[in-house]
A and B are shown apart, each in its own frame.
Chain A
Amino acid sequence: MRRLRSRNFRLKALFYGALLGLGVLLVVVFSGVAVGGFDPRVGVTIEQPVPFSHALHVGQLGMDCRYCHSAVERASYAGLPPTETCMTCHSQIKAQSPLLAPVRESWQSGQPLRWNRVAWVPDFVYFNHAIHVAKGVGCATCHGPVHQMQVLVLHQAFEMRFCLECHRNPAAFLRPKEEVFNMNYQPPAELLALGQRLLEAHKVQTANLDDCSVCHR
């Protein structure tokens, strides 16, 4: 009888252990999926032909975002600056720097620089920069503290959950229009009250913001 009981115990331990293990595994897998924890892109640096530093250009030199990303207020695509934009300064400044050799080469040959894209969404997502800027969504809300980045890293995986978080409750994320390009903007304490005011001021239609057709056209 004792022998049977001990076998019983081991079997039970095995059974419940296996069950527990499976449960833990499922929780880990699903919670990872849930928080996008398995997205390999966030926080990883991507090598670029030229080590362009936003920290230098924005953080130290104080350039406005729109100086280079000039289409952001009018087009769905914010645009990467052409070589001409770089060369407006770099034909004179650091004109001999070896780091800028690809830029000069591009300037001479007319071939565009092949930047590696960091922030992207799949082609079945129709993201429009202009509308977000027009309704008071700041650059830093989505792209993070770009003015402190030596090399651009992805701040957000741009998963749908992230987009919907704001589309379902935009008031918590809006800022006055004149602060959109202010990388050092600090939201006020009465954030939601301001958000409510801005919703009305910017005429944000909240009713259908999470409909499929908004992005997946």
Chain B
Amino acid sequence: MQAKPTGDTTLIQGEHTYQSLADKLVGVVEKPPPRIWWPLVLLGGLGTAFLLYAILVTFLQGLGTWGINIPVAWGFDIVHFVWWIGIGHAGTLISAILVLMRQDWRDSLNRLTEVMTLFAVLCAAIFPLIHMGRPQYFYWLLPYPNSLAMWPQFKSPLAWDVLAIMTYLTISTLFLYLGLIPDLALLRERAKSRLARAFYGALSLGWTGSATHWHRYRAAYVLLAGLATPVVISVHSVVSLDFAYGLVPGWHITVFPPFFAAGAIYSGFAMALTLIIPLRKWYRLEEVITLRHLDWMAKVMLASGLGVAYIYLLELFVAWYSAEPYELRQQAWRFNGPYAPYFWAMMLINVGILQLLWFPRFRHSLPWLFLISVLANVGMWLERYVIVIISLSRDFLPSSAKLFHPTWVDWGLFIGTFGFFVLGIALFIRIFPPIAVAEMLHLLHKLRFHKEESHAARSDGLLQNPRGASGGDSSG
């Protein structure tokens, strides 16, 4: 079989030197922002203000301002917590797992998705704090020696959530910062004003780019990637245990941890596409975030989406196979209950529309890809709605069945976290380069100077799986 072109040559398009590539990537920070930036910051700021107002109302008047009631005591707060946490996961996946797999195509995506992770996790972390009736005592969830001689209950997945989210926030921030250090040094060297030089200089921690620096940097980066990978998988698994630990029909399913992790990767890549498609246009980054990058992201999204779709069907099968009446009734409640439109919309998007990604036509068309990614975000929101709210709205006792009706505070918190997310990302890419410059220069170096070598190796047959190596166990 003739080896196809690996496509690596298309990861950076255009004729670039190190200087021109660095100019282009750092230009995002050095040049004035595109015109759309100001309205985005304004919208984000308004959203953030709305978020703060909704939080203030919640704190002053209590959780009764939300739509939650007694069977459905977890409403939009937990839906959005899980949704935002899920979105964060693509960032760490691209940063950590793809590093371990030595995927070069992550190099132009990782910074943006790490920023996305940081702000998505911050948005998510708001919800566990404010959905407490007495948020001023949140620190009782931390294990510290105190005058009460009391400790958190470590059997509760909600106590694990605290540890999981704090670890996740720490490790994703560290990852983001570690990746930024060489770029900060570059910005320091290029800075025109004293103030910028001092700012980037302090943040770059005296990075000089010496061989020792790079050697340790690489080792630390790969180590951190190795540590972050189990964190990514386990954080959303821990989040899933909030439900799977419960006895509620529709929650108590052992497949939840991988299900949630797959859903997190799916929704994370969807959100990454939703962000990256407009950003690459506004900032003219088509040369470094090529259609091939988007194609790969769409493929990962398809793969994880199929995992999600599989488990939807598995859930149905298991409900039938268990012959457990409450489980069956729960599924019937999803099919025909008052929330059926949510369920069917979720199935339509996450099982139906997802299949469009099999076709290169949809993966290579920006409008389609954007539309599908936005829909996938909606679909994953619906999935959390189905799991959290529909399951709670009717369980064992008919006398404790009640519907959930969100109030304006519920919506305000959601829209507000969106505003905060947009504001955070907009400000971040104004101050820090949205594409890892050092990684990209390294990639350019690899593409230009190692192309011949790998090409030569391939024509020698070294990369073509020599028959002798695998011939021993092939029986036919």
A interface list, Cβ under 8 A from B: 4, 7-8, 11-12, 15, 30, 33-36, 39, 157, 159-161, 164-165
Contact = CB atoms under 8 A, between A and B. Distances in A.
Contacts of B474: none
- Interface on chain B toward A: helix, strand, loop, or mixed SS? loop
B136 to A, nearest CB: 15
B148 A160 contact: yes
Contacts of B206: 4, 7-8, 11-12
A11 B202 contact: yes
Contacts of A35: 147
A4 B208 contact: yes
A160 B145 CA distance: 12
A26 to B, nearest CB: 9
Interface in B198-250: 201-202, 205-206, 208
Nearest to A33: B146
Contacts of A157: 147
A39 B146 CA distance: 12
B150 interface: yes
B150 to A, nearest CB: 7
Contacts of A12: 206
Contacts of A34: 144-147
B149 interface: yes
A159 B208 contact: no
A188 to B, nearest CB: 28
B205 A11 contact: yes
With a 10 A CB-CB cut-off, give which of B147, B206, B208 has the most chain A CB atoms.
B147
Contacts of A30: 144-145
Given A11-B202, A157-B147, A160-B149, 18 more contacts: A7-B201, A8-B206, A8-B208, A11-B205, A12-B206, A15-B205, A30-B144, A33-B145, A33-B146, A34-B144, A34-B146, A34-B147, A39-B147, A159-B148, A160-B150, A161-B146, A161-B148, A164-B149
A160 B147 contact: yes
Contacts of B148: 159-161
B184 to A, nearest CB: 12
A36 B147 contact: yes
Contact of B147 (A4, A7, A8, A159): A159
A4 B206 CA distance: 7
A206 B206 CA distance: 61
A39 B148 CA distance: 13
Interface residues of B, number: 12
A15 B177 CA distance: 15
Interface string B146-172: 111110000000000000000000000
Contacts of B208: 4, 8
Nearest to A15: B205
Nearest to A10: B206
A127 B208 CA distance: 65
Given A4-B208, A11-B202, A33 B147 contact: yes
26 contacts: A4-B206, A4-B208, A8-B206, A8-B208, A11-B205, A12-B206, A15-B205, A30-B145, A33-B144, A33-B145, A33-B147, A34-B144, A34-B145, A34-B146, A36-B147, A39-B147, A157-B147, A159-B147, A159-B148, A160-B147, A160-B148, A160-B149, A161-B147, A161-B148, A164-B149, A165-B149
The 6 closest A-B pairs by CB, nearest first: A161-B149, A159-B147, A8-B206, A36-B147, A34-B145, A160-B148
Contacts of A11: 202, 205-206
Nearest to A14: B202
Interface in B112-131: none
Nearest to A210: B149
Contacts of B202: 11
Contacts of A15: 205
A30 B144 CA distance: 8
Nearest to A161: B149
Contacts of B147: 33-36, 39, 157, 159-161
A160 B148 CA distance: 5
A138 B201 CA distance: 65
B241 to A, nearest CB: 25
Contacts of B146: 33-34, 161
A209 to B, nearest CB: 13
A203 B144 CA distance: 35
Nearest to A11: B206
Nearest to A29: B144
B140 to A, nearest CB: 12
A12 B149 CA distance: 38
A157 B149 CA distance: 14
Contacts of B144: 30, 33-34
Contacts of A4: 206, 208
Contacts of B201: 7
Nearest to B206: A8
Nearest to B202: A11
Interface in B172-209: 201-202, 205-206, 208
Contacts of A160: 147-150
Interface in B445-460: none
Nearest to B208: A4
B452 to A, nearest CB: 35
A12 B145 CA distance: 31
A35 B205 CA distance: 38
A25 B205 CA distance: 23
